[in-house]
C-alpha cells in the first residue's frame, strides 16, 4: 500500500488533517511529516500575541500519523471501506513548543496490534531534530463488517 493511499483513507479532512506525507512505513512502524500552517484557527487565541501549537493538536498529529496511518497499513489485506477508530489511551510528555509554520516529523514504533488494538511508542521532532514530545498512544481500529 502506497503512502498516498493511506492518507486518502484517513477519516480526516481540512482543517483537522495533520498528515502531509508518509516517508517510511513497514509492519513495525511509520514515519511522517506535517507543517503547522500559520493560518490555523487554533493560533488565534493560543496564546495571545505569542501563538503556540496546543498540546492536544500535537497529540492528534502523532495519533494520525503514528497510530491511524499505521493501523490502515496493518489492515491492508482487509477491505476497510469505512472503518471505526477510537483513541483508548494517551501518555505524552512535552519538551519544546511548536510554533506556526514549523514542520515536524513523527515516528512511531508498534508495541503490539491484537484484538483490534494498536499500541505505539511515538515521538515528534522539529526541523532541527530536537525532541518536541514523546510517549505512548493506543487506539482501536476496526473494519466495518
3-143 folds as Thiol Ester Dehydrase; Chain A (3.10.129)
Q: What is the 3-state secondary structure (H, E, C) of the chain?
A: CCHHHHHHHCCCCCCCCCCCEEEEEECCEEEEEEECCCCCHHHHCCCCCCCCCCHHHHHHHHHHHHHHHHHHHHCCCCCCCCEEEEEEEEEEEECCCCCCCCEEEEEEEEEEEECCEEEEEEEEECCCCCEEEEEEEEEEEEECC
pTM of the model: 0.95
Please identify every residue annotated as catalytic: 46
For residue 58, which of 28, 24, 27, 102 has the smallest C-alpha distance?
102
Q: What local confidence, expressed as pLDDT, does residue 1 receive? A: 87
Domain ranges of the chain: 3-143
More confident residue, 133 or 81: 133
With a pLDDT cut of 70, the percent of the chain lying above it is 98
Q: What is the pLDDT of residues 49-84, one digit of tens each?
A: 999 999 999 999 999 999 999 999 999 877 667 788
**How confident is the model at residue 77, as a pLDDT?**
79
Neighbours of 122 (CB within 10 A): 25
Average pLDDT of the chain to the nearest whole number:
94
Q: What is the pLDDT of residues 27-50, one digit of tens each?
A: 999 999 999 999 999 999 899 899
Across the range 96-100, mean pLDDT stands at 98
Residues 14-27 pLDDT 10s:
999 999 999 999 99
* Res 145 pLDDT > 70: no
Amino acid at each position: 500500500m502506497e503512502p498516498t493511499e493511506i492518507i486518502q483513507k484517513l477519516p480526516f479532512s481540512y482543517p483537522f488533517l495533520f498528515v502531509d506525507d508518509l516517508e517510511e512505513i513497514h509492519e513495525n512502524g511509520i514515519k511522517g511529516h506535517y507543517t503547522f500552517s500559520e493560518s490555523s484557527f487554533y493560533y488565534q487565541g493560543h496564546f495571545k500575541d505569542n501563538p503556540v501549537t496546543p498540546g492536544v493538536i500535537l497529540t492528534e498529529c502523532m495519533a494520525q500519523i503514528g497510530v491511524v496511518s499505521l493501523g490502515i497499513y496493518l489492515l491492508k489485506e482487509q477491505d476497510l471501506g469505512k472503518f471505526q477508530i477510537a483513541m483508548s489511551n494517551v501518555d505524552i510528555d512535552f519538551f519544546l513548543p511548536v510554533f506556526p509554520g514549523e514542520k515536524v516529523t513523527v515516528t512511531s514504533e508498534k508495541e503490539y496490534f491484537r484484538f483490534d488494538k494498536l499500541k505505539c511508542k511515538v515521538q515528534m521532532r522539529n526541523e532541527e531534530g530536537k525532541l518536541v514530545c514523546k510517549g505512548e498512544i493506543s487506539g482501536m481500529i476496526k473494519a466495518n463488517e
